Amino acid sequence: MTDIKQVQTEIITVGHKLIHSGLVTGSWGNISVRVDAATIAVTPSGRDYLSLQEVDISLVDLMGNQLGGNLLPSSELPLHLAVYQARGDVQAIVHTHSVFASACAVARRGIAPIIEDLVQVVGGSVDVAPYALPGTIELANNVVKTLGKKNAVLLANHGVLGCGETLSEALLCCELVEKAAQIFIYGQFLGGAVSLSEADCLTMHQFYDEQYRYRQGDKKNV
């Protein structure tokens, strides 16, 4: 059985990492974890990550009803819930407004499958979900549709969402997308970033999926 307090602590730890790595500024962005079949833990709305305590992390059901936590859940809760409902394999979600990923998102240019670590973990290109206002069901639906079976998606004029089978994997997706976005932009300046072939992307993603993911002692559901 998953320890809720442990999940809340891990969410706070990842929140600190988002601030210290520069992936998030202020209280923007959000983090969630599927605690069990009926419970999602999610960062609260509009709070500084560095001030968060375990009791501040909201607990909600899959319909968004609050089950616990001192504060209101993130205003992007509909986005998180839609991804969990569409993707039974997703156990955690990290959403950031990081700079290079957002540059691609405002240009509405998806990040081509140009670098190996990105395609291994994310599963290929990072496509752009059509724009909708933050916090809306329309945005949630656009994101789910564009995300498909991959582990990351850009949100037009907004930011990036990464997901995975663990919280550390969802964070890794956001880190890899930010790095790939920077490489993609620089590559374009140098004459054009060259994409990996679809077959090579598939081979690398399958290798990661089947053989690499849990090698480093990463535990499912955390």
Residues labelled catalytic: 76
**Span of 45-53, 152-160, 162-170, 202-210 interacting with Zn ion by CB under 5 A:** 152-160
Write out the binding residues for Zn ion, residues 154-183 only, by CB under 5 A: 159
Residues 121-150 as x/- pattern, contact with Zn ion by CB under 5 A: ------------------------------
Q: Which amino acid would we find at residue 51?
A: S
Least Cα distance to 56 among 84, 27, 80 occurs for 27
Least separation in angstroms between CB 29 and Zn ion: 6
Cα-Cα-Cα-Cα torsion 29, 216, 151, 118, nearest 10 degrees, comes to 100
Q: Report the C-alpha gap between 92 and 73 in whole angstroms.
A: 15
Q: How many residues bind Zn ion (CB under 5 A)?
A: 1
Closer by beta carbon to Zn ion, 17 or else 205: 17
DSSP 57: S
**All residues at 6 or more sequence positions from 55 whose CB lies less than 8 Å from its CB, including other chains:** 8, 69, 70
Rounded Cα distance, 190 and 142, in Å: 32
Residue 28 or 213 with smaller CB distance to Zn ion: 28
Question: Which residue reads 């949100």 in tokens?
Answer: 155
Site for Zn ion in 21-60 (CB under 5 A): none
At 179, list the tokens. 């790095």
Q: Which stretch binds Zn ion (CB under 5 A): 81-89, 117-125, 153-161, 188-196?
A: 153-161
Helices marked H in 149-210: 167-189, 198-207
Candidates 7-15, 19-27, 151-159, 175-183 — which segment interacts with Zn ion by CB under 5 A?
Answer: 151-159
Q: How far is the CB of 89 from Zn ion (least distance, A)?
A: 23
Nearest CB to Zn ion, comparing residues 44 and 159:
159
Binding residues for Zn ion (CB under 5 A)? 159
